[in-house]
């Protein structure tokens, strides 16, 4: 993948999207190769746990608690509403949950991690302007979150070997889209280059 345009400084955080048991192999919405990218996600977390923010996707208790087309969505996926599912499925995968704290967790009920406003507020309070993005899925919650962040003016660095999807074709198409159509606002790099470029000062 391409070279980062500039280094990554103290105004950078690692935003890890929905690395939950809900989407892990064996879960109701499995992303088969989550386990393949997990070691790279861990490397980025370990670079600075206190600069890592995990998001979790939280379904409603019942379809009737959802609004608009989300209600129809959860009528189809009623077994993934909180009234029917094991609550433990909402947890981060065990390999990541051990970093909380100092890493933080923010929950929301929409695809975009920015949808309820809490994430943007938290980032502004910390004077964050750059996001290193990992997680699942490339073509759903990662995509929605990345495009929201672009609209809000953040610099985005996608860790190409630390995001995953249940569709290889969609994953590959989106990496190409980011580089061809969003090349000013979105950079695509691999974990090793990101860690090498990230000047972290936690003291």
Q: What 8-state DSSP symbol labels residue 4?
A: P
User: Are 163 and 37 within 8 A, CB to CB?
Assistant: yes
What pLDDT is attached to residue 11? 95
Q: Is the pLDDT of residue 192 over 60?
A: yes
**Where residue 111 falls among pLDDT bands split at 50, 70, 90?**
very high
Position 38 pLDDT exceeds 90: yes
Q: What is the pLDDT of residue 2?
A: 55
> What is residue 198's predicted lDDT score, i.e. its pLDDT?
92
Q: What residue ranges define each of the domains in the chain, with the CATH number in brackets?
A: 12-59+93-197 (3.40.50.850)
Segment 55-80 mean pLDDT: 96
Return the pLDDT at 203: 42
Q: What average pLDDT does the chain have?
A: 94
What residue has token string 């990496």? 175
pLDDT of 201 above 70: no
What pTM does this model have? 0.94
Tell me phi and psi for residue 131, to 5 degrees.
Answer: -120, 125
Report the greatest alpha carbon distance in the chain. Answer: 49
What are 128-173's pLDDT values in tens digits? 999 999 999 999 999 999 999 999 999 999 999 999 998 999 999 9
**Which of 146, 195, 23, 11 is closest to 96 using CA atoms?**
23
| pLDDT tier at 200, thresholds 50, 70, 90 | confident
């Amino acid at each position: 993948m391409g070279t980062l345009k500039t280094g990554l400084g103290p105004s950078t955080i690692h935003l890890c999207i929905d690395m939950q048991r809900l989407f892990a192999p064996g879960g109701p919405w499995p992303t088969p190769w989550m386990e393949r990218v997990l070691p790279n996600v861990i490397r980025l977390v370990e670079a600075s746990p206190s600069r890592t923010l995990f998001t979790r996707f939280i379904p409603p208790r019942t379809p009737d608690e959802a609004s608009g087309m989300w209600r129809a969505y959860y009528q189809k996926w009623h077994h993934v509403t909180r009234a029917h599912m094991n609550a433990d499925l909402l947890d981060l995968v065990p390999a990541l949950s051990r970093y909380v704290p100092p890493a933080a967790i923010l929950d929301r009920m929409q695809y975009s991690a920015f949808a309820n406003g809490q994430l943007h507020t938290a980032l502004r309070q910390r004077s964050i302007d750059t996001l290193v993005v990992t997680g699942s899925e490339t073509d759903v919650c990662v995509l929605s979150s990345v495009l929201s962040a672009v609209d809000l003016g953040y610099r985005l660095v996608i860790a190409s070997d630390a995001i995953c999807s249940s569709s290889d074709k969609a994953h590959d198409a989106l990496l190409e889209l980011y580089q061809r159509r969003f090349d000013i606002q979105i950079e695509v790099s691999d974990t090793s280059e990101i860690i090498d470029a990230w000047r972290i000062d936690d003291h």
